Amino acid sequence: MASMTDEAAVRRQDALRSAVETGLVNEAEPVVGLLDVAGVRQAATSLHAAFATPGVAVEHTFAVKAASLVPVLALLGQYGLGAEVASPGELALARAAGIPPERTVLDSPAKTTAELREALSLGIAVNADNPQEIARIDALLAAAPSASPIGLRVNPQVGGGSIDAMSTATATSKFGVALRDPGAEEWVLRTYAERPWLNRLHTHTGSQGVPLPLMAAGVRAAYDLAERINAAAGRRQVTVLDIGGGLPVNFASDDITPSFGDYADLLRAEVPGLFDGRYGIVTEFGRALLAKHGTVLARVEYAKSAGGRAIAVTHAGAQVATRTVFAPEAWPLRVLALDAVGRPKTGAPVVQDVAGPCCFAGDLVAQGRALPLLDAGDHVALLDTGAYYFSTHFAYNSLPRPAVWAYTAAPGATPAFALVRAAQSPADLLAESGAGLPPLTP
């Protein structure tokens, strides 16, 4: 029997060919995003299965920044996921997707008083980032009671992973209360003891590049702290541990490794008390739920050569693959070479650059990559781009946000496509750029 990842690769190849054949990618829309609904469902199922424990209430939320697309949030909602939001915009998207307040968590290092007031009035869970935010919540609760679960984000300062910008548990990270700083733990214990409504504790050790043992060490530190908070308060005050997201994704092959099961097993070994029924668990995964189920498909506009290097100029560059272009060592992507009808190209590998459409020299999604030689009219597929790539757009050169399509297919049948987001139109671009506003006075 073919493995699940083989089947996903077959679905992806069928979708790529069908997207080219049916003209989803065309001259007017030379780049699109594609999302595999069956893959997303399998990811959600394996997440639920990994953490399911008799007697333990587990709530999985999806980190909205990883795919800020309402139909995707609604689909995940149907698979039993809530939403982790970090801005008024993300909260609005989660609400538009029908995610109920009791399955929504607000995290952000810069919540305004108005955002806090709205979240508390809706009953959304809030994780405070720092002492000043706790003081704001004190004042808001004094003015109006709230049903919101409220936690504090702590930085266990267990160290960083391989990507500095993704490591949130370093000594000097901007997030949460730095637990190992002088006086910090005393402040935390006192803060909880004085505020019976503080009933959660939150940590998120980082995203891509943080190894599993470091993630588990961060959760362990939060768990140990919860035990000390409850002992100091003399009651079971912290009832829910929010362990964040951050499961790293393998961008080197189709294998899903590590899996949610690998991480949950490690947590069961390293933090057994987390699963003994005294705490509820909240998770906030983003990348690991969607990355492997999305693909960026783009046309090759021209093929050229410079200084002996073959260069394919495509329509997928920094506007969709922003991190890959600006930090290629940290965010390498696999690139598939496809022909004019969307089939994998054959032919001897040729070292070439795969460039994007942006007007700066570094706009390359792959440099010196050995691929069948790309030519004008061919296509490229950027793999594992289902998380962040559809929602971390860069507006350089006024390039529009591409359309995103979800695909579903019975084995052997032609894939069916459903629009998840329309491409930004010329009118949208004009509006975004101040067209129609009164002229400035010279």
Ligand X SMILES: *Cc1c(COP(=O)(O)O)cnc(C)c1O
Contact footprint for ligand X (CB under 6 A): 63, 65-66, 84, 107, 204, 207-208, 244-247, 284-288
CA 127 to chain centroid: 19
C-alpha to C-alpha distance for 25 and 32, rounded to whole angstroms: 6
- Residue with smaller CB distance to ligand X, 205 or 352: 205
Is 359 annotated as catalytic?
yes
- Residue with smaller CB distance to ligand X, 66 or 177: 66
Q: Are strands 177-178 and 280-285 parallel, antiparallel or unpaired?
A: unpaired
Question: Of the residues 1, 114, 306, 359, which is catalytic?
Answer: 359
Characterise 384 by phi-psi region: left (phi > 0), alpha (psi -120 to 50), beta (else). left
In whole angstroms, the minimum distance from the beta carbon of 334 to ligand X comes to 19
Joined tokens for residue 262: 């690998």
**Helix 131-143 vs helix 113-122: crossing angle, to nearest 10:** 50
Residue nearest to ligand X (CB): 286
In whole angstroms, the minimum distance from the beta carbon of 260 to ligand X comes to 11
CA nearest 285: which of 9, 45, 66, 97? Answer: 66
- Residue with smaller CB distance to ligand X, 215 or 409: 215
CB contact at 8 A, 342 and 21? yes
- Residue with smaller CB distance to ligand X, 207 or 230: 207
CA nearest 148: which of 80, 193, 195? Answer: 195
In whole angstroms, the minimum distance from the beta carbon of 164 to ligand X comes to 15
In whole angstroms, the minimum distance from the beta carbon of 317 to ligand X comes to 23
In whole angstroms, the minimum distance from the beta carbon of 62 to ligand X comes to 9
- Residue with smaller CB distance to ligand X, 247 or 271: 247
In whole angstroms, the minimum distance from the beta carbon of 240 to ligand X comes to 15
CB contact at 8 A, 364 and 353? yes
C-alpha to C-alpha distance for 179 and 185, rounded to whole angstroms: 6
Joined tokens for residue 357: 């459409």
In whole angstroms, the minimum distance from the beta carbon of 25 to ligand X comes to 27
Q: Which amino acid is at 188?
A: V
Q: Which amino acid is at 191?
A: T
C-alpha to C-alpha distance for 124 and 116, rounded to whole angstroms: 10
- Residue with smaller CB distance to ligand X, 208 or 230: 208
> How far are the Cα atoms of 295, 365, 369, 378 from residue 312, in angstroms, in the given order?
18, 10, 11, 9
Characterize 25-50 residue by residue with b for buried, 16 or more Cβ atoms within 10 angstroms of its Cβ, and e for exposed.
beeebbbbbbbbbbbbbbbbebbeeb
CA nearest 158: which of 222, 82, 101, 87? Answer: 222
CA nearest 102: which of 243, 282, 269, 224? Answer: 282
Between the two ends of the chain, the Cα-to-Cα distance in Å is 71
- Catalytic amino acids? 359
